[in-house]
């Protein structure tokens, strides 16, 4: 139960800060992007076009890009660590 509440709270906190950063950077309107999808599809489109944030060397744009990509990077690091641990356990004859 506690883990679920932390996950929900973390997700809500992440999204609130993300929307604030989008407002500061003027994302996506100031880049001439028109997102027509709503809900989850619209969020995915925002992530897809986020590479455009690097075209303007503005502090808010770069911070927004890094913040948007942080969950992806964290997921890849977690996956890499778990695969390395599993490989190290297998090489020693131990099962994970």
- pLDDT tens-place values along the chain, 96 residues long: 899 999 999 999 999 999 999 999 998 888 888 878 777 788 788 888 888 999 988 999 999 999 999 999 999 999 999 999 888 876 555 555
What is the domain partition of the chain in residue ranges?
2-91
- In this prediction, residue 90 carries a pLDDT of 63
What is the residue whose two structure tokens read 């770069």?
A: 62
Tell me the pTM: 0.77
């Amino acid at each position: 139960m506690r883990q679920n509440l932390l996950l929900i709270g973390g997700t809500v906190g992440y999204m609130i800060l993300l929307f604030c950063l989008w407002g500061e950077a003027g994302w996506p309107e100031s880049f001439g992007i028109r997102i027509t999808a709503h809900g989850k599809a619209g969020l995915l489109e925002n992530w897809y076009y986020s590479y455009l944030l690097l075209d303007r060397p503005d502090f808010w744009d770069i911070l927004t890009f890094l913040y948007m990509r942080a969950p992806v990077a964290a997921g890849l690091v977690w996956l890499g660590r778990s695969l390395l641990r599993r490989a190290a356990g297998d090489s020693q004859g131990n099962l994970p």
